[in-house]
Amino acid sequence: MFTIAVFGLGAWGRTLQGLWERRGHRVLGWSRSGGGDPVALLSRVDLVTSAMAMQGVEALAAHLAPHWPEGLPLLSCSKGIDPERLVTPTQLWGHHLPGAPLLALSGPNLAGELARQLPAASVIAATDQTLALQLQEQLSGDCLRLYRSSDPVGVEAGGALKNVMAVAAGICDGLGLGVNAKASLLCRGLAEMGVVVRGLGGEATSLYGLAGLGDLLATANSPLSRNYRCGLLLAEGCDEATAIERIGATVEGPRTARAALALARRQGWSLPICVQVLAVLEQTTTPAQAVQALMQRHLKAEVAQ
């Protein structure tokens, strides 16, 4: 059994801690609100897990980097794109820990359901497949089944962009647009996610697995999803700050939309759903006008020729 450090004890971090303790591992937790220095845990563990919100990763990585033991693996469970460096979580960790073994965990893993020990599956991704296999075997349990991937960037980018699409799905349902509209939105959203995945260096095929389509289906349909609830509140007429205040927890979709569009401006990508989600968030358009703008875009082939 492993000794595991979990950095970040929000809903997701606490859920992981519980899952792995039930698996028989010794788990040491740290959070910013709890105080103490996370460096003290590095020499005592076999694996570090980062369950921080994306906005906290940069500072934590910079703090830990000078003290990182050689060969200690880092499993990133954060979902988002860094708004400054415009990279995925493991890419950000890799900037600070260039020699450390890095892995990503993502998938349809709503913390509330896993905390109740309801069954779920996710993906553990790393370029080092030997390490991925070892952690797959050690971290899988009765209610969380892990699959392997060799595409951490694609897995992470899919997990980040689905949050934007979940906000859009919440707006769609909040406006009462129906099943046809939502199915069309999610299908085109998946195609838009592929633009970003490929642009960041990931594999588009990762989008058709648990970390892409699987995660999208979960977060775009469940009131347990903060991003989906954010969309519902926007459709009611709330502004971004009010929606996030009412949710009372971190909502990654708005930050990810801004980061994705910063990348799009740099690379010349077309991300129409992200554009309209951000316009609603910034109140430069209404939810109904955003829908109209998407419906009136120029006609095109479904698949680029």
- CATH hierarchy code of domain 3-150: 3.40.50.720
3-state helix, strand, coil in the chain (%, to 5): 55, 10, 35
pLDDT of 134-156, one tens digit each? 999 999 999 999 999 999 999 99
Alpha helices in 107-239 (DSSP H): 111-115, 129-139, 152-174, 179-199, 215-219, 226-236
Read off the pLDDT of each residue in 234-261 and give the average, rounded to a whole number. Answer: 96
Say what the pLDDT of residue 305 is.
57
Interatomic CA distance for residues 270 and 286, integer angstroms = 21
Whether the per-residue pLDDT at 253 is higher than 60: the answer is yes
**Cα four-point dihedral sign 56, 276, 263, 196:** positive
Biggest CA-to-CA distance, the chain = 58
pLDDT of 104-125, one tens digit each? 999 999 999 999 999 999 999 9
Which helix (H) or strand (E) element contains residue 254? helix 252-267
pLDDT of 171-210, one tens digit each? 999 999 999 999 999 999 999 999 999 999 999 999 999 9
Domain 163-295 CATH assignment equals 3.40.50.300: no
CA distances from 81 to 7, 88, 204, 286, 301 (A): 18, 5, 17, 25, 29
178 Cα distance to chain centroid: 26
Q: What does the domain layout of the chain look like in residue ranges?
A: 3-150, 163-295
Say what the pLDDT of residue 261 is.
97
Interatomic CA distance for residues 227 and 229, integer angstroms = 5
Interatomic CA distance for residues 152 and 89, integer angstroms = 10
Interatomic CA distance for residues 209 and 151, integer angstroms = 11
Say what the pLDDT of residue 300 is.
87
pLDDT of 36-57, one tens digit each? 999 999 999 999 999 999 999 9
- pTM assigned to the model: 0.94
Q: What are phi and psi of 146, to 5 degrees?
A: -105, 135
**Averaged pLDDT score across all residues of the chain:** 95
Read off the pLDDT of each residue in 87-100 and give the average, rounded to a whole number. Answer: 96
Nearest to 142 by CA among 262, 18, 43: 18
Residues with catalytic annotation? Answer: 162
